[in-house]
Structures are given as structure tokens and as C-alpha cells.
Amino acid sequence: MNVVAIYEPIAGAEATVHARAWCEVDLDAVRHNLAQLRAAAGVPLIPMVKADAYGLGANAIVRLCTQFTNDEAPWALGVATVDEGTDVRKAGWSGRILCCSPVLPAEHTRMCEERITPALHTEADILSWRRLGERPWHLSIDTGMNRAGVAWNEAHTLADVVSFHPPEGVFTHFHSAGDNESSRSLQEQRFADALHTLALPASTLRHAANSPALAADAERRARPMWDLARPGIALYGSPSSSALQLSPVLHVFARVVDVRNVATGETVSYDATWTASRESRIATVAIGHGDGYRRAFSNRGIMQLRGQPVPVVGVVTMDMTMIDVTSVPCEVGDVVTVLGAPHNRRNADGAEHLSIDALAELAQLSPYELLVGWRLRLPRVYRSAT
Ligand SMILES: *Cc1c(COP(=O)(O)O)cnc(C)c1O
């Protein structure tokens, strides 16, 4: 594992972790975002820590989640695989773990052992789970995503088995909650119809809201519906929502390892996609697509050097990316901000902030993919003042 310094302050610049390229995860920002989301949702949360907490390192995020003792404490943690649930247990979480994605019944025994709550949607799976004992499970209802869950208009087929073995919770998932209010209302209506058909006990916990839904509700000052909410990416700082006031969590930095003059007419990087139209200073930054700095940033990305935006020139290579520093003083060893904000200047006036959303937009990537895609070759440094 490349996790270097959980909860430890950043070491001196000479520490090897800062020699090439690294990720900084601001745990105070995660704590802030959890509090913002909890307040906006008005109901307990199931923070999603799947996919290694969206690539930031589930271990540190789970440990942070264990620190709440008040009503801000998560109701459960959300994962997508049984292995992820097992890792959440190992990280010290003794509360509920909800595996939101379907798993094969062959996994049920292991889920029992680790006290992981499954999301089920077929009669066979519900019976298989109940044969292992009276353990909680959640019913997954598909209201238009067409991915997992019983179709809302087929929910009646489960009415019998559900009345004998009632679920602890029931949920659905929105496909376009952030940018399409009418599709969301339709999905909520279908969810309500399915709930009505199933006539579940009033104590059954209902949940639907993901990050885009919570952000949209906060913008409209609407009270989210249902009893729990399942934010994922918002914990990690996206979407940028003025109503939610989320803090950026991930900051990626890399060193300049070479600076050279490039004559007019010379090209930079593979396939010669960039040609110098003037005498240029080109710096080589020690980060590439082998670190998760996506090739889509070729000739499109922006990094930040000494507070100035500098463009990526040419194709991003596996280990190195070139930037045009003709107008910014630059030396070998300089730290370039690849994502987020330079430290010390985090909230300083005028500091450009390379947000996940802004960068994803530049390269026409999904913010989710950009966040999850950083590779373990980048050491992760965890910062927390508390
Ligand atoms: C990933 C996931 C979420 C969280 O989605 P975000 O958009 O990251 O908030 C919530 N519920 C389910 C079922 C998921 O798979």
C-alpha cells in the first residue's frame, strides 16, 4: 500500500513522498462536507465509501467516519462489493454496512460473517439470504436506471415474500437528479407507487437521494424526501454547489523535472500534436496517465505554477506531461498544482482553484472518473488539523 502518512502532517519537502507527484487528501474538508450534507439532507446519511472512497483511500475516510458520536454519525457506510465491506470492517467501522450493488448468492455467507447488509431484489435471493438467519436486508427498486433492482412496475411480484421477510430499508437510485427535475419526479412517483404496492411496514427506511439530488434540493431549498440519503461524490468535494458549500478534498501536485527552450516550429510529445509558434519555455512535469492524469488533458489541461495557470502542451505521456511556461518563471524542482489548490494558498484571495468539476469539463471527462482514476503510483498524504 502506498498510503504514507495517515493523519500525519506533511513532512519536509525533501521527504521522498514529495519527490515526484502526490495526492493530498484533506480530511477536515471531508468532515466539513459530511456536516454540510447532513444538515442539508435533514436525515441520517449513508456515506458511500465504495471504490476505495472514490479513489481517495477508504481506510482514512472510514476511520474519520468512526469519530462521530452525535447525531451526525453516519447511519451506515455504503459499498459496492463484499470485499469493500470487509475492508470497511478492517478499518474499524463496527456499524452498519450496506452493499448497494447486487452480489451473487454465493457471497451471502461471507456477508453474514462480516455483518454486511445486502441489497436484494429477487425472491430467490431474499429466500437465500433469510435461510442464513433473521438478518437485515434492503430492497432495491429500479425506477428508470435499468441497472439493478426490481422494476417498479413488477414490485407486486415480491409482495408475498416481502410480507413474510420484511426488509429493513427500501431504496431506488436516480439517473439524472442533478440536471433533470422532471425525470427525478417521475422516478420518485414510481418509487412511491412501488412502496404503495408492497404495503411495507411504516418503519421501513426509505432512501433515494445521491449527491446530485442533495445538491439540487439544497439549491431549491427543498426538503429531501425519504428517511436516509446516500451521498458519494459530494463528500469528496463535487459538485460545486453554492448552497452546499462543499470544500475541495483532493489536491494533486507534481514536480517540474526538466525545463528547456523550444524553438519556433519544434513539436512537443508523441504524435507531434503541438508546434511552438514562438520561442517557448517548456517544462516537463513528473505526472502522466500512468498516475491517472488522463490523456484527455493533452493540449487541453491547465496546471498551476506560482499561482498562474499554465497550459498543457502536446500529448500527456505515461510518466510525464509538458506545460508551456514561457510567461512564468520556472525551475526544476518547482511544485505544480495539477488539481485543487496549492497549499498555503488554499483559501487565499485570488488563488485559482482547479476544481474537479472545472478540470473534468476542460477534458470532457466525468468528475467521477477523474476522481476515481488516480493511480496508486501517486502516494497519498492525509492532512488533518484535528
Ligand atoms: C454510487 C452510488 C451512490 C452515490 O452516488 P453519488 O452520485 O456519488 O452521490 C448512491 N447510491 C448508489 C446505489 C450508488 O451506487
- Element spanning 59, H or E: helix 58-65
Minimum-distance ligand 1 atom for the alpha carbon of 100: 13
In a 3-state reduction of DSSP, which class is residue 170? strand
Whether 3 is in a domain gets the answer: no
Minimum-distance ligand 1 atom for the alpha carbon of 173: 13
236 C-alpha to center of ligand 1: Å?
12
298 C-alpha to center of ligand 1: Å?
30
Residues 194 and 299 in one domain: no
Residue 169's CATH number: 3.20.20.10
Whether 385 is in a domain gets the answer: no
Nearest CA to ligand 1 atom 6: 232
Range of the domain at 293: 250-354
Whether 244 is in a domain gets the answer: no
Task: Write down the pLDDT at residue 4.
Answer: 36
Looking at the annotation, which residues are catalytic? Answer: 50, 270
Residues 45 and 111 in one domain: yes
233 lines ligand 1 (CB under 6 A): yes
Task: Write down the pLDDT at residue 116.
Answer: 98
Per-residue pLDDT tens over the stretch 188-202? 999 999 999 999 999
Sites in the chain below the pLDDT cut of 70: 1-15, 343-352
Residues 258 and 218 in one domain: no
- Element spanning 150, H or E: strand 150-151
210 lines ligand 1 (CB under 6 A): yes
Residues 78 and 133 in one domain: yes
Whether 384 is in a domain gets the answer: no
Which residues sit opposite 36 in a β-bridge?
none
Model-level pTM?
0.93
Residue 257's CATH number: 2.40.37.10
Of the candidates 255, 374, 249, the residue with the CA atom closest to the CA atom of residue 16: 255
Which residues sit opposite 280 in a β-bridge?
262
Task: Write down the pLDDT at residue 94.
Answer: 96
Whether 338 is in a domain gets the answer: yes
Minimum-distance ligand 1 atom for the alpha carbon of 231: 9
DSSP one-letter string for 220-281: HTPPPPSSBB---GGGGT-S--TTTTPPP-EEEEEEEEEEEEE-TT-EESGGG-EE-SS-EE
| Separation CA 368–CA 16 (nearest Å) | 29
Residues 164 and 195 in one domain: yes
Minimum-distance ligand 1 atom for the alpha carbon of 230: 10
For a ligand 1 pocket test, name from 37, 84, 100 the mutation site with the most ligand atoms within 8 angstroms of its C-beta.
100
Give how many domains the chain has, as a whole number. Answer: 2
Please enumerate, as own/partner, the contacts of 73-77 that have beta carbons within 8 Å and a separation of 24 or more.
Answer: 73/44, 74/34, 74/44, 74/45, 74/46, 74/47, 75/44, 75/45, 75/46, 75/228, 76/46, 76/117, 76/228, 77/46, 77/47, 77/48, 77/49
Residues 310 and 214 in one domain: no
Residues 122 and 191 in one domain: yes
98 lines ligand 1 (CB under 6 A): no
48 lines ligand 1 (CB under 6 A): yes
Residues 144 and 254 in one domain: no
230 lines ligand 1 (CB under 6 A): yes
Which of these three, 195, 211, 236, is where a domain ends? Answer: 236
Residues 223 and 133 in one domain: yes
Residues 89 and 124 in one domain: yes
Task: Write down the pLDDT at residue 72.
Answer: 84
Whether 8 is in a domain gets the answer: no
Nearest CA to ligand 1 atom 14: 100
Whether 327 is in a domain gets the answer: yes
317 C-alpha to center of ligand 1: Å?
32
Residues 103 and 210 in one domain: yes
Residues 82 and 226 in one domain: yes
231 lines ligand 1 (CB under 6 A): yes
Whether 366 is in a domain gets the answer: no
211 C-alpha to center of ligand 1: Å?
7
Minimum-distance ligand 1 atom for the alpha carbon of 233: 8
